[in-house]
Structure 1
């Protein structure tokens, strides 16, 4: 047995150990991750709230004007708790596609396809689970066409459509409200000064 064989063995063992540790950490994180609360204030019992399941391609930005925090990874599938009644959910649809060919220094290795903010109104019932339903694109060109003419349904646990979002679902007023909700205090003051000059 040569030193080469010993080094190869230790590299494999070290890689396997690191991979095992990473898998344990990820499994622990995913099993302890709770639903994202979409309102300010105290948590409620799970039977008193509804849940909106969101796949990794959909990033919920705000619910009822309340901006939701950013997460470490953009493509996490998350569950959002909704209070019973009408809930306006603002979200974007985003996919990433690998570039083919040579990538130059500093150039991104992926194409990002993302919609403008979309809005959907969900009349949530306590204890119910809702999810986004759409036909995912098969390639980058399909994704670009899909993003330009975006449409998705929100369905309940039985598969019944309870709301629909489409590219034109957000009115100008809705977009302004969405932007206002995302603005910080300084940006809001600057806008008001501009609006009333």
Structure 2
């Protein structure tokens, strides 16, 4: 088996990150439907993934500063996505969270997840982050073992009361209105078009 290499995720794997993230989302929703509305991935998570491949001004980047991809040879084996604070060195508040860690099915049980976790732990040490944390939902025994064996310690226990149904969808934000200059341009185009039509008809 070829050795594993971990690099900043190139932008061409973004579709794989979105697909892997959605698969993880569905697993979480199956375990804890009350915490994951059906539209949460589309409204909240996908925009974060797109933003992870842009700089602070919204310009596309060739690689993500907060997503790290693992490869065996030329094959993508998995990735880990950190919170946006990780793009700053040092992080503004020195607290970074692991938002998602995903291994493609063909590469599971081969040490990929642990290698990704060790990579971000090394970053935490090098950059002197105060906290590198992850949320593991109840029932996700594999992730529990992964983080415990990697030296992560539980910080809190969160209790919940409520129905065991899928959470209500988040409200879809309204589309922003068109800027005034667009309306002005449309108005000018309509006036110009009407004048051209009148001139043509008057011939």
**Bucket of the pairwise TM-score, normalised by the shorter protein:** under 0.3
Greater helix percent: which structure?
2
Greater strand percent: which structure?
1
Output the TM-score relative to the length of structure 2.
Answer: 0.23
Larger radius of gyration: 2
Higher relative contact order (CA 8 A, sep 6+): 2
Output the TM-score relative to the length of structure 1.
Answer: 0.23
